[in-house]
Amino acid sequence: MERRSCKAIIEWDKDPSHFPVNEWLRDIVVNFGKIENNRFYGDTWTVLVKVNKLIYDTWNTEADVAFIVDEAPWHLLETGFSFKLWAGRDIATVRIL
C-alpha cells in the first residue's frame, strides 16, 4: 500500500509542543459519522499525523495527515475540509490545506 498524505493545519486541544516534529504519530483516529442516542454511526479510520512545524504563540501546527488503508475516504481530503482527531477523546481539529 502506498501512503498518501495531505498538508493540514491542526488546532490542538492541548499544547502540542511535546509532540515530536517530523515523526509520524500513531494511534489517532478519525470518526466519520454521527452520534445518536450515545451510539456512533459511521466509519472510523486510523490516521497518521506528522507535525512539521509549531505555529508560534498558538496551539496550532502545520502537519501532514495520512490514512493508512487504501479504502479510506481519500476523496474527502480536499482543501477546506475539516474533521476531528480522536485518541480516547477529541484531541484536535484538522483543516486540509
Taking only the tens place, the pLDDT of each residue in 1-39 is 456 788 999 999 999 999 999 999 988 988 877 778 888
Quick one: which of 53, 67, 57, 43 has its CA closest to 9? 53
| Strands 82-86 and 39-54, sheet pairing | unpaired
CA angle 32, 43, 6 (to 5 degrees): 55
Give residue 62's pLDDT.
97
Residue 73 banded pLDDT, cuts 50, 70, 90: confident
Strand partners, 53: 62
What's the rounded Cα separation, in Å, for the pair 42 and 5? 22
Cell of 68: 493508512
